[in-house]
A and B are shown apart, each in its own frame.
Chain A
Amino acid sequence: MSRYFTEDHEWIDVDGDIGTVGISDYAQGQLGDIVFVEVPDDGRQIAKGDEAAVVESVKAASDVYAPVSGIVLEGNPALVDDPSLVNSDPEGEGWFFKITLSDTAELDELMDETAYAAFVAKL
């Protein structure tokens, strides 16, 4: 399984053609206390770069963009009751949604962990 990152601070774990998407630890730290998450509906077709989810902190609302194109398999039901999972475990239990990738070649445009760490270090 490989993990990729976007410049908008989403991560995606890919296993075959199934991806799990969330926001990075850096992103949750910048947002602060998360109080609400809206995940996409099952079966929704989304294109890379589309607004796929909404995350709201005490301060502000932010969009989460789809790192790849595909069809949403499921949103993370745990975030409805406990959005703070995004703060406590952003790159684990705080995942946002799973997606069936329509074009795995899109992953080539994303950063790996090392490249993302270097990207964040410059911010």
Chain B
Amino acid sequence: MMSDTLPDDELEPIEILTLPLDAWHRAKGGRMVEFAGYHMPVQYDGIMAEHLWTREHAGLFDVSHMGQLTFTGEGVVPALEALMPADIAGLTLNRARYSLLLDDAGGILDDLMLTRQADEQVYMVVNGATKYDDIGHMIERLPEEVTLNLMEDHALLAVQGPKAVDALARLIPGVENMVFMQAGAFDWNGHPLWISRSGYTGEDGFEMSVSGDAAEALADALVAQPEVKPIGLGARDSLRLEAGLPLYGHDLDPTTTPVMADLGFALFKRRRETADFPGAARILAEREAGAETKRVGLLVDGRQPVREGATVVDAAGTAIGRVTSGGFAPSVGAPIAMAYVPAALAAPGTVVQLSQRGKVHQATVTAMPFVPHRYFRGVK
């Protein structure tokens, strides 16, 4: 019997928080789980059906757990640039960019999307599980003139899939004129919305920031469109995995750098030249010489999924890498994974061995995405 445990009354359970659409998800038959400290729907009809529906039609995702931040004030652009390798000064208004919050050693603290809403105003979306750490990190480093506002009263909804534009344009005319990574302010029934043409599925689609009070009405209006069904976190994960998009806390963490993570596109030219972002010396050296390990995509032989936590092993069975995401890919019809492997094994076509629960699986390194992206980049 344990004698050193705390009395029960000293153990305070961590409260799981609810989001504006909590009751809405339950009413729609969502199976709720704890995710990033919130009750969130993992599925409605089933992950496979929801995944395939999104690839074919359009899915509505509640991602209100994510942190929506607004930065304002004089000098906000150079202040944020000091924390990440993005070229925010060169960013056209109402254009979104993917970036990475870096520690001083070049390790990835979070991945994020930022949009320049005005000369001295930046909107940012960060991961739910890391948002409070991100805020702490940034507040410590931002000058007093810059104000950081966590938009806790706002929900974030995404509508994703090839029919997303048809459904959303019916409700909010004008969204169809935006291209991938463009954003803007819209009005829906008197509710101000901030909408960007972006997402986390590899499909065309939109992300909408809406006041928590109006979130339920907007969700109702969206699923009333014949193209749109609510989709849970389970399919969100399988869709992003097929799209080759990394998930923070799994495929990215402080031990990984942008070069290791194969996110070199986030290192903007001007910032590489000025070399003034955190960890620049190490990251730029890795960019020149290559990193020791690299994030790659894997097509796994057979049917059995190989998941996060499996190890990449050499012929002698020694661990030489790790699987950071993996599962059955509904649109591919086979198991796929992401892993960090030694640079020598990172070329597409390389066969690697994966060890999971005492069994060895064979997999082939493959270029990502596993399913082609279908972003809308304008009429050709």
**Does A116 interact with chain B (Cβ within 8 Å)?**
no
Which of chain B's residues have a CB closer than 8 A to the CB of A83? 303
In the complex, how many residues of chain A place their beta carbon closer than 8 angstroms to a beta carbon of chain B?
A: 13
**Does B330 interact with chain A (Cβ within 8 Å)?**
yes
Q: Are B48 and A33 in contact (CB under 8 A)?
A: yes
A64–B305 Cα gap in the complex (Å)? 17
Which of chain B's residues have a CB closer than 8 A to the CB of A61? 305, 307, 357
Which of chain A's residues have a CB closer than 8 A to the CB of B43? 32
A61–B306 Cα gap in the complex (Å)? 10
Q: Which residue of chain A lies nearest to B49 when distances are taken between CB atoms in the complex?
A: A33
Q: Mark B301-312, 1 if CB is under 8 A from A, else 0.
A: 001110100000
Partner of B47, one of A33, A36, A38: A33
**Does A66 interact with chain B (Cβ within 8 Å)?**
no
Q: Which residue of chain B lies nearest to A83 when distances are taken between CB atoms in the complex?
A: B303
Q: Are B46 and A36 in contact (CB under 8 A)?
A: no
Tell me the smallest distance from the CB of A41 to a CB of chain B, in Å.
14
A56–B356 Cα gap in the complex (Å)? 13
**Does B254 interact with chain A (Cβ within 8 Å)?**
no
Partner of B304, one of A32, A56, A58: A56
A46–B50 Cα gap in the complex (Å)? 38
Chain A stretch 39-88: residues in CB contact (< 8 A) with chain B: 54, 56-61, 83
Which of chain B's residues have a CB closer than 8 A to the CB of A58? 47-48, 51, 234, 238, 327-328, 330
Q: Are A38 and B304 in contact (CB under 8 A)?
A: yes
Q: Are A56 and B48 in contact (CB under 8 A)?
A: no
A59–B48 Cα gap in the complex (Å)? 10
**Does A35 interact with chain B (Cβ within 8 Å)?**
yes
CB within 8 Å: A-B pair count: 41
A58–B328 Cα gap in the complex (Å)? 6
Q: Are B305 and A33 in contact (CB under 8 A)?
A: no
Tell me the smallest distance from the CB of A84 to a CB of chain B, in Å.
9
Q: Mark B273-309, 1 if CB is under 8 A from A, else 0.
A: 0000000000000000000000000000001110100
Partner of B46, one of A32, A38, A54, A56: A32
Given contacts A56-B328, A58-B238, contact A32 B305 (CB under 8 A): no
Q: Which of A33, A56, A83 has the most CB of B within 10 A?
A: A33
Chain A stretch 1-57: residues in CB contact (< 8 A) with chain B: 32-33, 35-36, 38, 54, 56-57
Chain B stretch 201-222: residues in CB contact (< 8 A) with chain A: none
Tell me the smallest distance from the CB of A25 to a CB of chain B, in Å.
15
Tell me the smallest distance from the CB of A24 to a CB of chain B, in Å.
18
Which of chain B's residues have a CB closer than 8 A to the CB of A36? 303-305, 328, 335
Q: List 6 A-B contacts (CB under 8 A).
A: A32-B43, A32-B46, A35-B328, A36-B303, A57-B47, A58-B234
* Interface set of A (CB-CB < 8 Å, partner B): 32-33, 35-36, 38, 54, 56-61, 83
A-B pairs, top 10 by smallest CB distance, nearest first, are: A35-B328, A33-B48, A58-B47, A36-B304, A36-B303, A58-B328, A56-B305, A33-B46, A32-B46, A32-B47
Q: A58-B48, A58-B234 are in contact. List 10 more A-B contacts (CB 8 A).
A: A32-B43, A32-B48, A33-B47, A35-B303, A35-B305, A36-B304, A56-B304, A57-B47, A58-B47, A58-B238
